[in-house]
Amino acid sequence: AQRVTQPEKLLSVFKGAPVELKCNYSYSGSPELFWYVQYSRQRLQLLLRHISRESIKGFTADLNKGETSFHLKKPFAQEEDSAMYYCALSAPGNTPLVFGKGTRLSVIA
């Protein structure tokens, strides 16, 4: 079965420092990977997906099939990046989206 692991429950960084939120997955095929974000008092929303290869709000994520990872990165953290971040995997076929347990990012001024 597919599994998504986010090893850090909480990540605290200073404003202006680089950020890397880790995501590892277990799936042998070709998954679709997503990062969803939940800001305080807002609904969960898509941040980015690997197939689009976009940079959203300065965040990027690269799918590394060899290491089965999809880490989320931003070179300079901003206070407004403080939120809960979830990595998610979608496998082909009749399977639901699988979420990691999330990482709370706290950017300290």
Partner 1 sequence: KAGVTQTPRYLIKTRGQQVTLSCSPISGHRSVSWYQQTPGQGLQFLFEYFSETQRNKGNFPGRFSGRQFSNSRSEMNVSTLELGDSALYLCASSLVPGRETQYFGPGTRLLVL
Interface with partner 1, residue 10, by CB under 8 A:
no
Q: Hey, what are 82's tokens?
A: 């403080």
Q: How far is the CB of 4 from partner 1 (least distance, A)?
A: 10
Q: Which residues within the stretch 19-78 sit at the binding site for partner 1 (CB under 8 A)?
A: 32, 34, 36, 43-46, 49, 51
Q: Hey, what are 17's tokens?
A: 């420092």
Yes or no: say if 3 and 26 are a contact pair by the CB < 8 Å rule.
Answer: yes
Q: How far is the CB of 40 from partner 1 (least distance, A)?
A: 13
Counting residues that bind partner 1 (by CB under 8 A) gives: 21
Specify the 3-state DSSP secondary structure of 80. Answer: helix
Interface with partner 1, residue 100, by CB under 8 A:
yes
| Alpha helices, DSSP H, located in the chain | none
Other C-beta atoms lying within 10 Å of the C-beta of residue 62:
12
Interface with partner 1, residue 86, by CB under 8 A:
yes
**What is the C-alpha to C-alpha distance for residues 39 and 105, in angstroms, rounded to an integer?**
10
Interface with partner 1, residue 102, by CB under 8 A:
yes
Contact window for partner 1 (CB under 8 A) among 19-27, 64-72, 75-83, 86-94: 86-94
Yes or no: say if 74 and 56 are a contact pair by the CB < 8 Å rule.
Answer: no
Q: Which residues contribute to the site for partner 1 (CB under 8 A)?
A: 32, 34, 36, 43-46, 49, 51, 86, 90, 92, 94-102
